[in-house]
Amino acid sequence: KRKAIEIGTKVSILRDIRSGVKNADVARKYGLSKSTVSTIVKDEGKILASANLNGDEHKRKRLREAKYKEVEDALFKWFLDARGRNIPISGPLLIEKANDFAFLLDCPEFSPGGGWVQRFKERHGVVYRAIVGEGAAVNQDMADKWLTDHLDKVFQYSDRDIYNADETGLFYQMLPNRTHTLKGDKCVGGKNSKVRVTVLLCCNMDGSDRRLPFVIGKSKKPTCFGQFVPVRYRHNKKAWMTRELFGEWLKEFDDDMAAKKRKILLILDNCSAHHLYPKLQAIEILFLPPNATARLQPLDMGIIQNFKVIYRRRVIQRLLIMIRCPLPGNPKLQINLWMAVQMLKGAWMEIRSETLSNCFRKAGFVRPSASPAGVEGEEAATPDDREEVGQAWKEALEARLVDEADNLEDFIVADKDVWATEELDDAAIVREVRAAAGREEAQSSSDDDDGDEDAPPPQAIGTATALEYIAALKDLVFARGLPEEYACHLDNLGKTLERTTVRKQAAITSFFK
């Protein structure tokens, strides 16, 4: 007789396989055949998706296949996308959308009723919830229940191996006196989409690792970029995250962790761009429940806001330098993409490790042995960061970069409503479903864009000139009484330049011998 296996047991089997236990040993441990274990490994994506969405329903034994699988797959993709955009969902709306997809997928006999909707909800863990805006509308009971169901699983990993990743839109070119033209713009298209990028940030729970920012712009090869770019950069015509780009980033992250022989947990929200099920060696993905992001996602607990506070401060400071020390020809007062990626990389690295770990705690990721005291009162940005951006704003007022009518808080949060992930229309969903079924080739969303960054690329200077600049900067350090470690860093930079130059000269000399 065929043995039914609970989904919770399947998850445990997958966890054993991920930890390096051989299939044969796992089969013996659970009293199963090796072929059954192989089938469970093959269905890993479906099993983990069901377990993540259904929480405590791990005793359910079968993943029932839908009769009209393509219609159901399309509807579930639409559901995840709609949930991510806070669209209220009801049974009649699901039936209406299912009929739309049945028509597009050439399924004329498809006829959904109340029973079909109920089975769809059970298969995918769909629950209707009232929506009154992200954050305010999130059901705290739902968030608490998710934590109760999943914290044991989360804390099987050490703090350094628990990661969170999320995207945010950034008006990188926005000047502090132009906030009113961009504030509240979701920036799906139009002229404002040219002055924004999407930034994926990822860090771990103890603050010891923050991944290189992943920046998505419109230009394929911005002319202002040189050979070295300090962030991971990709492009598409909407400058937002897509499944294709996220899958590429996830694979690179997984390869890096596998090379370091690490096993990690990656916590993600339920946006449609994240719903990929590639075979991963080192990363286990845990999805947050739909519409609970504002309560459960650590990056939304203040990390992203802290990042933007620091970025805006750096923008103001860069503009003040441009005003006070104008370059020959009086170039236009603006931030190009090359400046932006340098500043956003610096802003990301400047966030304190304690801020990262505190935001995980504030999201509810607190070990039973840890004291939760003080977590609720954590500010998104530290007092020092707020003080520094406030001082920069004061200097901007004095320099007439802004006036009294402009508002610092508006400048910081102007892009909080910008969409950072792809918006799926019905045609795109159908293409994806058909591609998955082998009926159609998937279309790339990374369409080329001619680029709108016409600033010249950074120019390299000669070693001799660079060493002169370094010497001048060392004099400045001592003249202004700055910390001596700055001079040490400059010394190290000079030595590196000298060594590199000597090696190149030696290589050239040996070539002609």
Same domain, 145 and 65: no
Angle at 142 between CA 141 and CA 148, to 5 degrees: 85
364, 220: one domain: yes
Q: Are residues 391 and 474 in the same domain?
A: no
Residue 221: per-residue pLDDT: 81
Q: Which of 3-7, 12-16, 129-133 has the highest mean pLDDT?
A: 12-16
Residue 52's pLDDT is 55
Classify residue 445: in a domain, yes or no.
no
Dihedral (CA of 338, 340, 342, 344) sign: negative
**Regarding predicted confidence, which is higher, 145 or 505?**
145
Q: Which amino acid is at 93?
A: L
Report the range of poorest mean pLDDT among 104-113, 183-192, 327-336, 419-428.
183-192
Residue 242 confidence (pLDDT) above 70:
yes
Would you state the pLDDT for residue 282? 95
More confident residue, 342 or 461: 342
Out of 380, 413, 446, a domain closes at 413
Cα–Cα distance for residue pair 58/11, rounded to 1 Å: 9
Q: Is 91 in the same domain as 220?
A: no
452 has a pLDDT exceeding 70: no
pLDDT value at residue 300: 93
Asked if 111 and 240 sit in the same domain, the reply is no
Write the DSSP symbol of residue 125.
Answer: T
Closest CA to 167 of 237, 232, 250, 240: 240
- How many helices (H) and strands (E) would you count in the chain? 18, 6
Whether 426 maps to a domain, the answer reads no
Residue 192 belongs to a domain: yes
Task: Report the distance separating Cα 437 and Cα 69, nearest Å.
Answer: 10
- Structural domain count, the chain: 3
pLDDT tens sequence across 158-208: 999 999 999 999 999 888 876 655 544 554 444 445 688 999 999 999 999
Does 455 fall in a domain? Answer: no
Q: Are residues 156 and 96 in the same domain?
A: no
Q: Residue 200: beta bridge partners?
A: 167, 214
* Lowest-confidence pick of 266-270, 286-290, 334-338, 457-461: 457-461
Phi-psi map region of 187: left, alpha, beta (phi>0 left; psi -120 to 50 alpha): left
**E-assigned strands of 12-85?**
none
Q: Which of these ranges, 39-48, 91-100, 319-328, has the smallest mean pLDDT?
A: 39-48
297 shares its domain with 397 = yes
At 51 the pLDDT is 62
Rounded CA-CA distance 421/437 in Å is 24
CA 487-469-509 angle, 5° bins:
105
> Picking from 174-178, 198-202, 464-468, 487-491, which range would have the lowest pLDDT averaged per residue?
174-178
Which of residues 413, 438, 455 is at a domain's end?
413
Residue 306 phi, psi (nearest 5): -60, -40
Angle between helices 44-54 and 114-124 (to 10 degrees): 100
What residues form DSSP beta bridges with 233? Answer: 215
Domain assignment present for residue 129? The answer is no
Find out whether 172 and 344 touch, Cβ atoms under 8 Å: yes
Q: What is the DSSP letter of 387?
A: H
- Output the pLDDT for position 503: 62
* 489 domain residue, yes or no: yes
> What residue type is 508 in one-letter code?
I
What predicted TM-score, i.e. pTM, was given to this entire model? 0.70
> Domain span at residue 103?
7-124
Query: Is residue 132 domain-resident?
Result: no
Rounded CA gap, 67 and 372, in Å? 48
Tell which of 97, 124, 151 closes a domain: 124
Shared-domain flag, residues 103 and 214: no
Picking from 307, 310, 294, 266, the residue whose alpha carbon sits closest to that of residue 362 is: 294
Mean pLDDT of 323-329: 75
Instruction: Say if residue 167 is in the same domain as residue 118.
Output: no
CB 72 within 8 A of CB 436: no
Please tell me whether residues 254 and 302 are part of one structural domain. yes
pLDDT at 134: 44
Confidence label for 58 from pLDDT (cuts 50, 70 and 90): very low
Residues 305 and 376 in one domain: yes
Would you say residue 423 lies in a domain? no
Consecutive H or E run containing 279: none
H/E element holding 227? none
* Mean pLDDT, rounded, for 485-501: 85
Q: Are residues 117 and 223 in the same domain?
A: no
The encoded tokens of residue 330 equal 């009086």
CATH code of the domain covering residue 161: 3.30.420.10
Per-residue confidence (pLDDT) for residue 84, from 0 to 100: 64
